[in-house]
Amino acid sequence: MENYVHMHECHGHKISIIINRTHAILHSIAILFLIHYRLSFFFQHPPNITIPTLPWLLIFVSELLLYLAWLLAQSHRWRPVYRTVFPERLPGDDKLPAIDIFICTADPNKEPSVEVMNTVISAMALDYPPEKLHVYVSDDAGSDATLRCMKEAWNFARYWVPFCRKYGLVTACPDVYFSSSEDGFKGSSEFKAERKKMEEKYEILKQRIRRIVQEYHRDVTVNNKLDHSSIIEVINEYHKEKDEVKIPILVYVSREKRPSRRHNFKAGALNVLLRVSAMISNSPYILVLDCDMHCNDPTSARQAMCYYCDPQTSQSIAFVQFPQTFRNISEDDIYDSQLRFVFKIQWHGFDGAGGPTISGTNFYIKREALLGSFSKQQDLMALKRSFGPSNDFIKTLVEDYKPCFIEDGESSRMLLEHANVLASCSYEDQTTWGTKVGFLYFCVLEDYFTGFTLHRKGWKSVYLYPKRPQFLGTATTNFNEASIQWTRWVSGLTSVAISRFCPLICGPLKMSLVHLMCYLEVACMPLLYCLSIWGFALIPQLCLFNGIPLYPKISDSNFNIFSIIFISAISKSLYEVVTTGDQFRVWTNEWRIWMVRCVTCYTYGSLDAILNKLGIKEASFLPTNKATDDEQVKLYEMGIFDFRAATMFLAPLVTVILVNFAAFVGAVFKALVVDDNGDRYWEKMFGQMFLSFYILVSNYAIIEGMIIRKGKASIPLSATLWSVVFSVFILLIGSVILC
């Protein structure tokens, strides 16, 4: 190892580690005092008990659940790490391994075709040997429009890719490039002339794509996206000019879908791409992208290869995860669309514990980690039982197998037919696809479950967060779509938490305790938070409404326990926002949207998973709508909530606000008007009054949408009226039960 050259470095942030661990210890001590205070209530003599037992027990359970969620969350604060790579130390291009790029699209109505084609083009323009890149687009809708758009995109890429390479552009996506001020050769008239021509070609491309989409929408005979045969087409097999600059091949894949068959959502589409790509290119590494997540910087492949080409890590690293970053995030980001905490805090800690889980997109993964490695002496029948009956596919599993799909530029018709068989509905019958090999099917979040399984088997992963975003996507910027997206994520996570695959039950084979806690926190977080926050949002308020104290008097020394815990939690979250380079208003927005999600998305997602577990409801997958509405975008950029959402999301929010408002106003009225000894009432009920007041102030945007604002984006009167009914019911029934 004398000539060994480090291609990457990993270092921990010592100051953050010290602060995190010190805070965890001190906060835990305060919580232990709180638990002692709550438990001592149950050991009082009956004559001294003046508070009903049930509300005290319920708020204690809520506090314990919140403490458990907090305790699990300390796992990703225990040892956050940060990584640096050195792509300049990679071997020559001829020694770099090949890469297959998988791009998944599901609905041309919700995923704008111009945006999808920008992702395709940017992937083809990666700074990597073009003969070693192969781009596959999975179209689950089986849309002829997507296929036609891909052909137009490939024609444009024939000019765009050489242009990027000639001038060393650092922005691979044409839409972003032409809307920015990047022009590296400012003094070059040749560059300016070529740039202008390229921009004209791009405008023509957009016009053609939009025309194709319009024709698709007008065509009443378009394919049924739930009922169509498989289609596989190599786009560039018909373009063979001798003097043409090499560009990556582009393959369209639409798997067979039938209404009577399960299709296993995105995981099913990825597994079809795994099989089809094995017949065409069989690259040892795969980049997975969502259709709206374009390659912003062309160097991501070389950065990932710093781990796969390093002899010390190449055998153990399953995948390299990059963060999800978005180009349409406003300064306020009222819906926390950038997922700041996940990608700037949580995943760094996850990495320090043993590696992050798969995040759905923006990751390079080793094919061997998904399929395994086999020798020529492997039992053929055993392989067929696991991978299906195709002899041609079984051949691709053998180490060092090189496909002969493309020879002298001519596609093999026979292998294309075999590839179509691999994309059929019935191919996975009686196999272990989705259960033991490939991307796993257990829940709609195939990424979390697949990553967890790989780590249990002993694979490692790394989280790479370069200064320049490698990938840029389009975030959901309206309340309804963001809520639907989070509900889907929560449903998948809760499905794991309440199943036999729960990290606590499944147990670590080759995982550390801290790493296990990271996975457990992600899986159990929605259920723990929704149960605890509903308790904090209603139980103290119902007791306040009826004059029952649940917290110590201000003069009681035990009141300091609750004050310290509250200030500690607030201060730590604010510290994490500031240290990641964000402002105070980001912290207030995140705090509000966290409470909003707890009583909406976390609740509905957890309920959906439970009903699915009981067999009452089948799992469903709704693609996030990426089509933008100018009015909604304007509201988002102004920091104004757009409440044009389903009543199921609005009613819980308004109900909580009304209950807290009724309890707070009632308490103030009692203290000022009714109670002769108002000072004592304030002292006795201050904790609950402060909690209600804090909830109301933090969620002022909801009050504004109910009362102050008018127009389409305000909360509809029907949702408010339903919430009034629910609030009255809760106040009446809750008062009877708790008191």
Tens of pLDDT, residue by residue over 428-437, are 999 999 999 9
In sequence order, what are the beta bridge partners of 251?
136, 234
Q: Which two tokens stand for residue 397?
A: 């599993």
pLDDT, position 616: 80
- Residue 735 has a CB neighbour count (10 Å cut-off) of 14
Annotated binding site: 110-111, 140, 266, 290
Q: Which two tokens stand for residue 31?
A: 């919580």
H or E segment at 496?
A: helix 479-497
Q: Looking at per-residue confidence, does 29 or 413 come out higher?
A: 29
Write the burial class of residue 306 (CB in 10 Å: 0-12 exposed, 13-18 middle, 19+ buried): buried
Q: Looking at per-residue confidence, does 678 or 647 come out higher?
A: 647
* Banded pLDDT at 504 (limits 50, 70, 90): confident
In sequence order, what are the beta bridge partners of 599?
none
| 140 annotated active-site | yes
Q: Which two tokens stand for residue 268?
A: 């099913």
Asked if pLDDT for residue 373 goes beyond 90, the answer is: no
Q: Which two tokens stand for residue 389?
A: 């009956």
| CATH among 3.40.50.970, 3.90.550.10, 3.90.1150.10, 3.40.50.300 for 94-324+359-475 | 3.90.550.10
* Banded pLDDT at 48 (limits 50, 70, 90): low
- CA atoms within a 13 Å half-sphere pointing along the CA-CB vector of 113: 28
* Banded pLDDT at 738 (limits 50, 70, 90): confident
DSSP string, 253-285: EE--B-TTS---HHHHHHHHHHHHHHHHT--SE
Asked if pLDDT for residue 540 goes beyond 80, the answer is: yes
Chain segment 557-578, per-residue pLDDT in tens: 999 999 999 999 999 999 999 9
Distance from C-alpha of 258 to C-alpha of 677, rounded to nearest angstrom: 72
Q: Averaged over 523-534, what is the pLDDT?
A: 96
* Banded pLDDT at 349 (limits 50, 70, 90): very high
- Residue 6 contacts residue 86 (beta carbons within 8 Å): yes
- CA atoms within a 13 Å half-sphere pointing along the CA-CB vector of 94: 0
Q: Averaged over 468-477, what is the pLDDT?
A: 92
Could you tell me the CA-to-CA distances from 371 to 5, 147, 387, 432 in Å, in that order?
30, 29, 9, 11
Distance from C-alpha of 506 to C-alpha of 342, rounded to nearest angstrom: 24
Based on C-alpha coordinates, what's the Rg of the chain? 28
What's the distance, CA 556 to chain centroid? Answer: 45
Distance from C-alpha of 146 to C-alpha of 253, rounded to nearest angstrom: 10
pLDDT, position 200: 95
**Any idea what DSSP says for residue 343?**
I
- Residue 649 contacts residue 483 (beta carbons within 8 Å): yes
* Banded pLDDT at 40 (limits 50, 70, 90): very high
Maximum C-alpha span of the chain: 97
- What percent of the chain stands above pLDDT 90? 67
Distance from C-alpha of 302 to C-alpha of 309, rounded to nearest angstrom: 10
- Residue 285 contacts residue 318 (beta carbons within 8 Å): no
- What percent of the chain stands above pLDDT 70? 91
Rounded to 5 degrees, φ, ψ at 309 are -95, 0
Q: Averaged over 210-229, what is the pLDDT?
A: 76
Q: Averaged over 416-439, what is the pLDDT?
A: 91
Asked if pLDDT for residue 419 goes beyond 90, the answer is: no
Asked if pLDDT for residue 101 goes beyond 60, the answer is: yes
Question: Out of 46-50, 496-500, 520-524, which region has the weakest mean confidence (pLDDT)?
Answer: 46-50
pLDDT, position 694: 96
From the list 139, 310, 447, 642, the catalytic residue is 447
Asked if pLDDT for residue 624 goes beyond 70, the answer is: no
**Any idea what DSSP says for residue 397?**
T
pLDDT, position 526: 95
Distance from C-alpha of 449 to C-alpha of 266, rounded to nearest angstrom: 13
Q: Residue 103: what residue type?
A: I
pLDDT, position 243: 45
Asked if pLDDT for residue 492 goes beyond 70, the answer is: yes
Q: Which two tokens stand for residue 626?
A: 């990426």
Distance from C-alpha of 146 to C-alpha of 421, rounded to nearest angstrom: 21
Distance from C-alpha of 462 to C-alpha of 352, rounded to nearest angstrom: 9
Chain segment 250-259, per-residue pLDDT in tens: 999 999 998 8
Q: Which of 422, 523, 450, 430 is nearest to 75 (CA)?
A: 523
* Banded pLDDT at 408 (limits 50, 70, 90): very low
Could you tell me the CA-to-CA distances from 727 to 20, 112, 310, 607 in Å, in that order?
40, 41, 61, 21
* Banded pLDDT at 232 (limits 50, 70, 90): very high
Q: Averaged over 201-209, what is the pLDDT?
A: 96
pLDDT, position 221: 58
Q: Which two tokens stand for residue 728?
A: 């009255």
Q: Residue 29: what residue type?
A: I
* Banded pLDDT at 291 (limits 50, 70, 90): very high
Angle (CA) 496 499 505, round 5°: 95
DSSP 3-state helix, strand, coil percentages of the chain (rounded to 5)?
55, 10, 35
Asked if pLDDT for residue 63 goes beyond 60, the answer is: yes
pLDDT, position 534: 97
Asked if pLDDT for residue 238 goes beyond 60, the answer is: no
Count each helix (H run) and each strand (E run) in the chain, helices first. Answer: 26, 15
pLDDT, position 409: 47
Domain borders along the chain are 94-324+359-475, 497-738
Asked if pLDDT for residue 186 goes beyond 60, the answer is: no
**What angle, rounded to 10 degrees, do the helices at 265-280 and 413-422 form?**
160
pLDDT, position 332: 87
Rounded to 5 degrees, φ, ψ at 81 are -125, 160
Between strands 285-290 and 363-366, the pairing is: antiparallel
* Banded pLDDT at 38 (limits 50, 70, 90): very high
Q: Averaged over 603-613, what is the pLDDT?
A: 92
From the list 100, 140, 297, 642, the catalytic residue is 140
